[in-house]
Amino acid sequence: MKIEVLVSTMHQKNSDLINKMNLKTDAIIINQTDNADFKELSINDKKVRMFSFNERGVGLSRNSALMRSDADICVLADDDMVFCDNYEETVRNAFEDNPRADLIIFNLIEDGKSLNRQNTNITKINILNYMNYGAARIAFKRKAISYNGITFNLNFGGGTNHQCGEDTLFLRNCLKKGLNIIALPQAIAELKDERDSTWFKGYNEKYFFDKGAVLALAHPVLAKLFSLYLTLRHNEYTKNGMSKKEVYKEICKGIKFVKKKDYKKV
């Protein structure tokens, strides 16, 4: 079982990221920067390929890595993760112990503690809980993704018009295709919070508008119902002074933007 980490990063000047992230398996690093380049390195009998492209967008970065992978299992990663020494064994054992799983979502550790929304036991991922997870903790059987034609939407995520949601739409498409997704309590990496987010600027109008655009694509019929559910459930949405009514209104603007195909006018 070949395991390969697919890393999305920006503006790397050298290969120091390999040691910084503690990569111990094969890996593909997509470096979005201002020039084009390619390097292939051998680290302890593992192959690390680093592609540099003059392009932007996290969805495009993940697609670029996915289309170049020949691994059995792919692990999605961002450059602020440091992998546990035993992550290869953890991922391999997880798929061997759960042979029906097409995707497995692992825990991340931050400041020595598991992140919020950590998995405390084996959890089946479904339409009600899939939005709880970001891409950089997901491992999947590559052929389950490629044979079903699943990719990341290029209009969502950092570096695009809509600052978030590429991971939500990815998981939603996996569910639509009938793939089996589970979450496990094992951690595979530690998250190093060493930089400001490239996209999250607080719970503002833009954040909720983009959330609505995601919901319109993920749940065309029930988008407004989901937006009401999220508004009522997440009290943190109002921490910047917006009322729940205002939050719901902004989300609905994003839903309308997609449903009425207003993006054609932009």
Least confident of 70-84, 101-115, 243-257: 101-115
Least confident of 20-24, 163-167, 237-241, 262-266: 262-266
Q: What is the full DSSP assignment across 70-109?
A: --SEEEEEETTEEE-TTHHHHHHHHHHH-TT-SEEEEEEE
Residue 197 has pLDDT above 90, yes or no: no
Q: What is the pLDDT of residue 111?
A: 67
Burial class (CB in 10 A: 0-12, 13-18, 19+), 52: buried
Quick: pLDDT tens for 206-243. Answer: 999 999 999 999 999 999 999 999 999 899 998 888 99
Q: How many CB atoms lie within 10 A of CB 190?
A: 18
Paired residues of 46 in beta bridges: 43
Report the distance separating Cα 130 and Cα 52, nearest Å: 31
What is the pLDDT confidence band of residue 202, given thresholds at 50, 70 and 90? confident
Q: 3-class DSSP state for residue 147? A: coil
**What's the average model confidence in pLDDT over 57-61?**
93
Report the distance separating Cα 117 and Cα 21, nearest Å: 23
**What's the average model confidence in pLDDT over 163-169?**
91
**What's the average model confidence in pLDDT over 84-103?**
97
Dihedral angle sign, alpha carbons of residues 182, 8, 23, 115: negative
Owner of token pair 């207003």: 262
Max CA distance (Å), the chain:
57
Mean pLDDT of the chain: 91
Q: What is the token pair recorded at 44?
A: 């302890």
Residue 196 has pLDDT above 70, yes or no: no
What is the pLDDT confidence band of residue 200, given thresholds at 50, 70 and 90? low
Quick: pLDDT tens for 27-58. Answer: 999 999 999 999 999 888 899 999 999 999 99
Residue 118 has pLDDT above 70, yes or no: yes
What is the pLDDT confidence band of residue 163, given thresholds at 50, 70 and 90? confident
Q: 3-class DSSP state for residue 228? A: helix
Q: What is the pLDDT of residue 114?
A: 46
Report the distance separating Cα 17 and Cα 80, nearest Å: 10
Residue 185 has pLDDT above 70, yes or no: yes
Residue 158 has pLDDT above 90, yes or no: no
C-alpha torsion angle, residues 257, 258, 259, 263 (rounded to 10): 80
Long-range residue pairs from 97-100, CB within 8 A, at least 24 positions apart, any chain: 98/122, 98/182, 98/184, 100/180
Report the distance separating Cα 156 and Cα 109, nearest Å: 26
Residue 249 has pLDDT above 90, yes or no: yes
Say if residues 59 and 156 touch (Cβ distance below 8 Å).
Answer: yes
What is the pLDDT confidence band of residue 181, given thresholds at 50, 70 and 90? very high
Quick: pLDDT tens for 135-156. Answer: 999 999 999 999 999 999 999 9
